[in-house]
Every structure is written in structure tokens, then in C-alpha cells.
Structure 1
Amino acid sequence: MAFTDLGDVRLFHTDDGSGDPALLLVHGLGSDSHEWVHHIPALARRHRVIAVDMRGHGYSSAPETGNTPRLMAEDLAGLCAELGVGQCVAIGHSMGGQIVSHLAVEHPSLVRALVTVDPGYGFTGPVAASFPALIEQMREDPLAASLRNDLWTSTGATPGWLREWHRRRILATPPHVLLQAFEAMFGGPEPLGLRPNSDGYLSRRTCPVLTFWFDPAQAAWEAGLFKDPRSRAVTWEGSGHRLHEERPGEFLLVVTDWLRSLA
């Protein structure tokens, strides 16, 4: 079945291929599992690949409350139990980087390794200072504020079709989900998106981590939090926020080589 009921939420997911370890693919805010269409066929040649629409996104149900990265991570733990996944490599983009990090910290026996792609944590300085005003704008009009905020994710090299695809996905996301998830990431008590909150929490990830950033300063910061010597930080300067979609072939090459090195 492509849907699994977990009590308060019904998750859409695909389940392709076979092989150990299983890969769990987690999209960003205002997106869905179509984000991984360039990657699933190649990954499924060697691995079982599970791609999920998180609560409030895509074809999954959208509860009125609880649309936060922490609860989304609990959804994934429940989904893995339902699907008989004992261990996985969790791969998350943007908000998905927060979600899979929560999964690794709170369910360490489930997560063998992590891959995070321009993850939504560790922000400081002017970027962090801009979040309170952005959250207020989202309270007034979540869709309009989310569309404005999405403008920074692209560069001159980002394909026009990719910008349009994600604009349409944001428009298809329930406004209350956009607000609840963003506020949980970057506002409220001790948000994982901001330093120093992120430092202490991410330091609890004991598994190997492969992280991709377009910002070398962010990559160097996260590398300082790694606990497993097999961890690696990759910087692709000049890429946009969705670097795995802009450069899918290179992304797959780096990820698959790293996974083989773990084995």
C-alpha cells in the first residue's frame, strides 16, 4: 500500500528496490517526495528506498496541529516500524535535515547514518535575526511570506523549471502547515534552526553524517560537531538551496560512494 495510517496522520510513501541499508528520503518544507524523482531509480538498484510525504505535505493528511519537525520524526519512526525497517540511512533536505536529525538523536538504534542536504539548522547572524519578522509575516499570510522567502533558494544557475516546480508545491501546501513547521524550526522555545541550540542537540548524533552545503562557513561549523570519524562535510559553492535537484548526478555519485565506504 502507498498509504500508512499512524493514528492522527495518514502518510503517503513509495517503497522501491531492495538491499541493505534501507534509505529513507525526507523532503523540505513546502515540498513533497517528488523532490527525489531524479534519485530514486539509481538508489533503488542497490537499496530499499522509501520516500515519504511528511504530514501536511503532498498526498499525506494535514492535521490541524502538530505539523512540526519533531512530530514528523516520530511519524517516520512509526512508519519504519510498520514497514519492518530495523535500520536505515536517513536522507533529509532543508527541513528534512532537521527531521532526520531528530530521528537520529531520539531513535539512535534506527538510524545507521545520516545525509543532510543544505539542512535547516545552525543559522546565526543576520539570517537568524531575520526570522522573528518573517514568522510575523507568515502569521498574516503564510503563502505569500513563504513564496517571498523561497526567492533566496535559487541562483542564476538554477533551472527555471525547478523554481516553478517548487513555487507550485508551496501553493499546494496548507497555510497552517507552512506556519507551524517554520515557527517550530526557527521560533518558539529552543528552535533547532538557530545556534547555539543546534550545537548541543546535533552533537548528540553519534552516527556517521554526510552533509552538503553551498556555504563553506556552515559546512565548517557542522563538521566541528561530528562524532563519528567517517563523517564528511561537502561544500558546493555556487549551488542553490536545492543542490541535490540542481546537480542530481553528482549528488548521487557522492552519496553512493560514501555509503559504500561505510560498508
Structure 2
Amino acid sequence: MPRTRIGDIEMYYEVHGRGEPIVLIHGLSMDSSTWLNQVSVLSQKFQVIVFDNRGVGQTDAPNEDYSTEMMADDTIALLQFLKVDNAHVLGFSMGGMIAQIVALKCPELVKSLILNTTAAQLPAKAKYIVQNWLRMLNENVSLETRIREGFLWVYTDDFFKHDETVTASVNLASNHPHPLSTHGFAGQVAALIKHDTRSRISQISVPTLVLIGGDDIFIPVEFSEELAGKIPKAELVELERGGHNCWMEFPELFNQAVMQFLDSVTSSEP
């Protein structure tokens, strides 16, 4: 399993397929293993790079507050290590915040940008929610209860209509081979709380897809509308179904929207 030294951490990463590079950046507490439904599709046409952010999975988790700026530097350094000089960048939630900063710091590195269920600044209610998740972890609330509570904010009613689906998803998360550490989660929560690119996102100059599930209650659609309104070359696509984890719950809809955007970007090249 490939790991490399990136600044002060050892980072886990994977590379799948061949073609133009696309890097997928995950959200709070998640690792690269949950991109399975995207890697299987995107790797048929692209070189797909996935990795574990600092604080989760098989990447080191320094016991300190993180920032999206710091995590963007991690992403940039990984691409430099892999000798990738131009890539499509897809970020989900916190990963979308990291992706914004990658595009701002190194526009020459980013061929196109896909911002999925994210924001220039986390909504006030969402800040309260993630801080409450951290409080539950510190108070030793059971893992199963924390997982079930988290699901309430990221999945649609359709997900909860099938008890066997919910139970299978809880069991999968509960038995993750690389469990989340308290300090790693706390570090990522700090990064989310501090993120604010509202005054800078108009400087993003690359073609951008802002993608949102219409039923997202964690980061509501108006925050995606703000991104699409301020980024000059952005288009907003609202999926007909899907909440915050639309890419997991409705992967076919999500992957289709992503592939259509990537096809439009590559077909418009001279």
C-alpha cells in the first residue's frame, strides 16, 4: 500500500487507471476507501488519484488543529510527488473547501474544479453539528449511536426506508479497519470551522462544476448558489435526488453529472 512523506506526515494514496489525472478529495472523517463507486467509473477514462487526508485512514494524524490551507498544501505536495502538473480536482464537502484553496494557490495545477456539496464558509448550523459530533466522541457516546446520528444529516428519506440498508451501512462504518482517532477528528473539525474563502473565490479562474443534492440539509443549496455566482466560469447542477452524501446514495446520478462536465471540459480543448 503506497505511502509517502508529505511535509510532517506520512500520507496514504492510490492511483487507478490511465489518462488525464483527476484527484478526489474527501470530506470530514472519511478516507479514500469510500470513493469506490467513483473510482470504478472514472478510472475507465482518467488516472484517478485518491488519498487519505491528514487525520484519517492510513495517513498520519498529528495531534493539533488542522486548516484547509494546510490540507491544500498536502494535496499540492502529493501531486508534485506524483509528477502531476495539471489535474482535474474534485472535492466533497470539506474536500471541496480544500479544492478551492488548491485552485487559488496553484491555478496552473488545476485543469478543472468540481465542488460537491460544499461552501465558501460552513453554515452556522453545520458548525454546531460538527462540534456536537466531536463532543459526542469526547463523551464516549457509542460508535453506533454516533454513526446513526451522522446519517440523519447526510442521507435522504429513501435511505431510511430500508432497515437492511441502514444496518449494513452502520456495520460497515463500525468495522472500519482504520478507526478514526479523537485527535484526528478534532483536527479536521478545526479546519472546517476556520475555513472562509468568501472574499477570494471570485479569483478562481478554471472551469468549475458546482454540484449539489437538492435535498442537502447539512449544507443547503444556497451555499452552492453562492459559489456558482461568484466563481466566474462556474455552472451549478442540482441533482434531482440526493442529500449531502449524494455521491454515495445515488452514485449513478452523481457520476453521470461529473462525467458530462469532464467531457465538456476536455472536448472544448483546442
TM > 0.5 between the two?
A: yes
- Matches for 1:1-263 after TM superposition, within 5 Å: 2-20=2-20, 22-124=21-123, 128=124, 131=127, 135=131, 138=134, 141-142=137-138, 144=141, 147=147, 148-158=149-159, 159-160=165-166, 161-162=168-169, 164-166=171-173, 172-186=179-193, 191-192=194-195, 197-214=196-213, 215-228=220-233, 231-236=234-239, 238-263=241-266
Q: Identity rate of aligned residues, in percent?
A: 24
Unaligned runs of 5+ in 2: 160-164, 214-219
TM-aligned CA distance change 1:63 to 1:242, over 3 Å: same
Measured after TM superposition, the shift of residue 204 of structure 1 is 2.2
Q: How many aligned residue pairs are there?
A: 249
Rounded Cα–Cα distance in structure 1 between residues aligned with 2:27 and 2:129: 21
CA deviation profile, 1:43-73 (whole Å, cap 9, x unmatched): 1111111111111111111112253322111
Give the AA of the match of 2:4.
T
- Verify the 8 A CA contact 1:88 1:112 in the aligned structure 2: yes
Out of 159-168 and 245-254, give the one that drifted further. 159-168
Instruction: Choose 133-142 or 100-109, whichever is displaced more.
Output: 133-142
TM-score by length of 2: 0.82
Segment of structure 1 superposing worse, 235-244 or 50-59: 235-244
CA distance in 1, matches of 2:173, 2:125: 25
Determine helix, strand or coil for the equivalent of 2:203. coil
Question: Unpaired segments of 5 or more residues in structure 1?
Answer: none
SS in structure 1 opposite 2:49?
A: strand
What CA distance in whole angstroms lies between the structure 1 residues aligned with 2:12 and 2:199?
Answer: 33
Q: CA deviation at 1:77?
A: 0.7
- Superposed CA RMSD in Å reads 2.6
